[in-house]
Structure 1
Amino acid sequence: MKLLRFGPKGQEKPGLLDANGVVRDLSEMLPDLTSACLGRATLDRLASVDPARLPAVEGPVRMAPIVADIGKLICVGLNYSDHAAESGMDVPSEPVLFTKATSAIIGCNDPVVLPRDSVKSDWEVELGVVIGKRARYVEAEQALEHVAGYCVVNDLSEREYQLERGGQWDKGKGCDTFGPVGPWLVTADEVPDPQNLDMWLEVNGKRYQSGNTRTMVFTVAQLVSYISRFMTLNPGDVISTGTPPGVGLGQKPEPVYLRPGDRISLGIQGLGQQNQTVHAWDAALIDG
């Protein structure tokens, strides 16, 4: 099942994508797709509905963030050994964790707005893991039982802020619009093996990233278990699990960074595609 939210900012509605790629309106069943909807009982109820009986949404629509009230967006750094190498960093012995501000979260095709004075903004295609059941000190063997589903995340990063401004990653990771998620939340039953998903990213039509989640240093199950030792994972929290090589920082002979007018496309096998246009700082694009 592919769950989603659609509509203008402040007017989002819950929906699902049917087998023919048609967006169906779930408003008669749910007021919105919130963290409270991610439990097994609600997901089973939604899965029992015949999509053909739901109203079809006509025309192109804005794809909104997949959950209305994402509580935490927790990211994992250097979780692909070849990406660590291109970044000039060691493969970590334990997962590297940082958070992205929830104010960074946007719909998958919303404008990406560079922060003022940005000179080193970068891209990262990542597998997002959406928590559906509270996880606290969970063993890896049971960790996937706490996952509602998966999504695409672009972990946009301002490298100067991240690496040259005091060594605190959050400053370069949590900028407004730097957390596109979606287009869909694909429920876990449709992703039997999250460790075998192809992923890719292009900028202006050039393929920069091609990878597969099988090369993660720490698996999804290991990450859910590990993070649950340090904080409670609640329904609606999202874990962004790291990126394969090919980021702008690692390009040779010189890094390549995002500029206004650039177009980013990225996707993960079975989880959909994102398309963003990069803009110079403009508060109206963020707030509107």
Structure 2
Amino acid sequence: MNESDREAVRRAWKDAGLAPLWKSPTTHKPPPDHVTPWYAGEIRKQGHFLKASGSVVGAGEGVIVRFPDRETHHELELAVVIGRKGRNISVDDAPSYVAGYCTGLDMVVRDPEDRSLRKSLDTYSVLGPYVIAADGIPDVSSLHITLRVSGEQRLSSFPRDMTIKIGEQIAWISECRTLWPCDVIVTGTSKGV
């Protein structure tokens, strides 16, 4: 990604806010008793889905639990910020479409409603606090993503452990939908939810 592409992403985030937020289902390695090709097939059957842009808040803005009488989970995930328009992107070309990365706290109400609804409540998509330029991270697969609640570690994962890697997710989503600068792909949850 060149400097003019990065500047276009910065302007878009500043002037227009976030574009669509894409969500991939759980993509980290399954428990050892699952067969990975089967598991990856099951993930693909679930498909990816959109979260409402109104669900997005910045880090530190706070999450408002909408239904305290229902089970609500938190899932910390790597978020991929798209830097340029693309459709039918190959896995090999996918990294050139990434502007940067940030953390994404994905909140979800556990119940029978459609998962886009359960994950798209106001304040249920926390991004940031920073977007790190893709070229500033030499090896994104080695990032250690951890979530602590009151000092207790709840989640711990590495992108290298994903069943469906970041490039594959970009290719998968772009097979049926155009990706635009500032689209965000929240890449899926590790074990420990």
| Common fold by TM > 0.5 | yes
Select between 232-241 and 211-220 the one with higher mean Cα deviation. 211-220
1:121 aligns with 2:95: no
TM-score of the superposition, structure 2-length normalised? 0.85
C-alpha deviation, 1:92, in angstroms: 3.3
Partners in 2 of 1:101 and 1:198 — Cα distance? 27
Cα-to-partner distance string for 1:41-94 (whole Å, 9 max, x where unaligned) = 15379xxxxxxxxxxxxxxxxxxxx664211100111201337x8xxxx72315
Question: Partner residue of 2:27?
Answer: 79
- The question of whether the paired residues in 1 share the 8 Å contact of 2:5 and 2:84 is answered with no
C-alpha deviation, 1:117, in angstroms: 4.9
Q: Which runs of 5+ in 1 are unaligned?
A: 1-37, 46-65, 248-288
1:137 aligns with 2:85: no
Question: Partner residue of 1:201?
Answer: 147
Match of 2:159 among 213, 221, 226: 213
1:171 aligns with 2:141: no
2:161 corresponds to which letter in structure 1? T
Question: Partner residue of 1:147?
Answer: 98
Q: Percent identity?
A: 29
Q: Which has the higher contact order (CA 8 A, sep 6+)?
A: 2
- The question of whether the paired residues in 2 share the 8 Å contact of 1:39 and 1:133 is answered with no
Partners in 2 of 1:183 and 1:200 — Cα distance? 15
- The question of whether the paired residues in 2 share the 8 Å contact of 1:140 and 1:224 is answered with yes
Seen in structure 2, the aligned counterparts of structure 1 residues 116 and 80 have a Cα distance that, compared at 3 Å, is same
Seen in structure 2, the aligned counterparts of structure 1 residues 39 and 74 have a Cα distance that, compared at 3 Å, is farther
Partners in 2 of 1:219 and 1:203 — Cα distance? 27
C-alpha deviation, 1:39, in angstroms: 6.7
Question: Partner residue of 1:158?
Answer: 109
C-alpha deviation, 1:40, in angstroms: 3.6
User: Of Structure 1 and Structure 2, which has the larger fraction of its residues in helix?
Assistant: 2
Match of 1:231 among 174, 177, 183: 177
Question: Partner residue of 1:69?
Answer: 17
Cα-to-partner distance string for 1:161-208 (whole Å, 9 max, x where unaligned) = xxx23xx21121001100010011100111122222111111122111
1:195 corresponds to which letter in structure 2? S
Partners in 2 of 1:126 and 1:174 — Cα distance? 16
Q: Aligned to 2:157, what secondary structure does the other structure show?
A: strand
Q: Aligned to 1:195, what secondary structure does the other structure show?
A: helix
Partners in 2 of 1:205 and 1:138 — Cα distance? 40
Paired residue total = 182
Partners in 1 of 2:83 and 2:55 — Cα distance? 21
- The question of whether the paired residues in 1 share the 8 Å contact of 2:58 and 2:126 is answered with yes
TM-score of the superposition, structure 1-length normalised? 0.58
Partners in 1 of 2:22 and 2:109 — Cα distance? 17
Q: List structure 1 runs of 4+ shifted beyond 6 angstroms.
A: none
Match of 2:52 among 93, 98, 101: 101
Seen in structure 2, the aligned counterparts of structure 1 residues 221 and 42 have a Cα distance that, compared at 3 Å, is closer
* Pair member with larger Rg: 1
- The question of whether the paired residues in 2 share the 8 Å contact of 1:143 and 1:224 is answered with yes
Q: Which runs of 5+ in 2 are unaligned?
A: none
Partners in 1 of 2:145 and 2:4 — Cα distance? 31
2:23 corresponds to which letter in structure 1? C
Cα-to-partner distance string for 1:244-288 (whole Å, 9 max, x where unaligned) = 1111xxxxxxxxxxxxxxxxxxxxxxxxxxxxxxxxxxxxxxxxx
Partners in 1 of 2:176 and 2:3 — Cα distance? 25
Seen in structure 2, the aligned counterparts of structure 1 residues 77 and 118 have a Cα distance that, compared at 3 Å, is farther
What is the RMSD computed on CA atoms of the aligned residues? Answer: 2.4
